[in-house]
Amino acid sequence: MTLKQRPIESRGSKHSCEMPIVAERGPLRAAVAAARAGGKRIGLVPTMGALHAGHLSLVEASRKECDFTVVTIFVNPMQFGPGEDFDRYPRPLEADLAALARMEADLVFAPPQTEIYRPGCGTFVDPGPVALPLEGACRPGHFRGVATVVLKLFHLARPDAAYFGRKDFQQTVVVRRLVDDLDLEIEVRVCPTVREPDGLALSSRNAYLGPESRRKALVLSRSLRLARQLSEAGERSAAAVLEKMRQEFALLPEVRVEYIALVDPETLQPIERIVPGTVALVAAVVDGTRLIDNETILNS
């Protein structure tokens, strides 16, 4: 059932544990203003729903560090390109709300598209050079969509701190730049990637994978582990590590690599020598499902 079909509940209903669910900016702003007036520190966790333990770790971090945690669920059309999976993106709203109630989130903001992009809207955020390589090159316009919706959510929820997952490493760099460049007084908190015991990074898109595809998908985390082992053993040549990572992917020719990169963690520019902080990033399409992952391969 979509939120659009639930107008009464969406105007300020309560789930179990009395967790309000709001679909409009008015009640969101009012609830946050009341919390702030009570001296509470506000934490924001932006998501697209289809929640898993990775998302919930962000909620947990916010609950720990803040007094009032707002979770947003919004599948942002602007960050999907033509032919991407916007229409089929999973939207298990009831299960998401139940999980958030269990986590004791204080408020869920789950707006319809028209609440975020109102008729006539024409101002967007251009996130600059860190948005150009990697995901930006493969998904033109993606980070313009991300930066725009994140800025809008920041303005709507006015958080003191916002929580993002390391899983989307480039997104965290784009958001940090957004906050610095536009002088926002928001602490950006980045939480570690939550993985399955076998290394697969949790992702809402893992739901698209059957057992065989899921097995193939392990090549992403395996290649990152290999890169880390090589650098920890003393390899400093990026070309040598990239070659070994490519060889790992080459064992599964049906997995289509979009990029394998070793970059500076702030500029996201490719490096030649591995230094503490160097990040390896991979993106690949496994049986029609596009997956990304990353790791710092040498500790600072």
Binding interface with ligand AMP (CB under 6 A)? 47-48, 54-55, 57-58, 164-165, 167-168, 191, 193-194, 201-204
**Closest approach of ligand AMP to the CB of residue 218, in Å:** 14
55 is catalytic: yes
| Cβ-based nearer residue to ligand AMP, 169 or 241 | 169
H or E segment to which residue 244 belongs: helix 238-250
What type of residue sits at position 27? P
| Cβ-based nearer residue to ligand AMP, 43 or 54 | 54
CB atoms within 10 A of CB 146: 26
Out of 15, 52, 55, 142, pick the active-site residue: 55
How far apart CA 42 and CA 8 sit, in angstroms, is 26
**Closest approach of ligand AMP to the CB of residue 113, in Å:** 16
Token pair of 290 as six digits: 């596009």
CB atoms within 10 A of CB 189: 18
H or E segment to which residue 175 belongs: helix 169-181
How far apart CA 225 and CA 109 sit, in angstroms, is 37
Output the residue with the shortest Cβ distance to ligand AMP: 165
**Closest approach of ligand AMP to the CB of residue 250, in Å:** 26
Token pair of 99 as six digits: 């999980």
Cα angle for residues 82, 285, 88 (degrees, 5° grid): 45
**Closest approach of ligand AMP to the CB of residue 21, in Å:** 17
List, by residue number, the catalytic residues: 55
